[in-house]
Structure 1
Amino acid sequence: MAARIYQHVKSNMQSGRARTDRWVLEFEPAEPKRADPLTGWAGSGDTREQVRLGFPTLDAARAYAESQGLDFHVVPAPERRLKLQAYADNFR
């Protein structure tokens, strides 16, 4: 079983950085999604895809994955880039 460990990032619609310090362990999809013949929605029979485990630190997430014998890789969080802009720039 393969898993990925990543850190939540702030979405563009958020102003604060709440819960961005948490680490998440998520399982890789075991089978591709296919269209349901009745509804046309995409889905699969893999229920592990619905499981997300949260951890306070990267070390805790790694320790859990190693204790469960999971193959995992860590996805590094993108660096934060600040776009400093003055209100007066709107009127130039």
Structure 2
Amino acid sequence: MTARIYQRPQSAMTSGRALTDRWILEYDPAEAKRPDPLTGWAGSGDTRQQLQLKFGSCEAAKAYAERNAIEYAIVPTPTRTLKIQAYADNFR
């Protein structure tokens, strides 16, 4: 059983940074998804894919994983790069 720990990314639809300080632990899929013969929807028998645990810090998520003997990988948060430009630059 393996999991990945990452920080919640900022929504692409808004400029707000609400809930981006939360850390999430998600389990890696144990089996591949396959199409359902009746509906054609993709699914599997692995119910851990539906589980998403939220923590206030990375250390709390790591402590939970170590306490429950879960192998984990921490996905680093990408750095934000801001492209500062004036509105007038759109018309040059």
Task: Name the TM-score class by shorter chain.
Answer: over 0.9
Residue of structure 2 in register with 1:41 after alignment: 41
In the TM superposition, what are the counterparts of 1:5-16 in structure 2 within 5 Å?
A: 5-16=5-16
For residue 12 of structure 1, report the CA deviation from its aligned partner: 2.1
Distance across 1 between alignment mates of 2:85 and 2:17 = 19
Residue of structure 1 in register with 2:52 after alignment: 52
Taking structure 1 as the reference length, what is the TM-score of the superposition? 0.95
SS at match of 1:29: coil
Distance across 2 between alignment mates of 1:4 and 1:21 = 16
Distance across 2 between alignment mates of 1:63 and 1:77 = 19
Structure 1, unmatched stretches of 5+, are none
Q: Indicate the RMSD between aligned Cα atoms, in angstroms.
A: 0.8
- Over the matched positions of the two proteins, sequence identity in percent amounts to 64
Structure 2, unmatched stretches of 5+, are none
Work out the number of aligned pairs and report it.
92
Taking structure 2 as the reference length, what is the TM-score of the superposition? 0.95
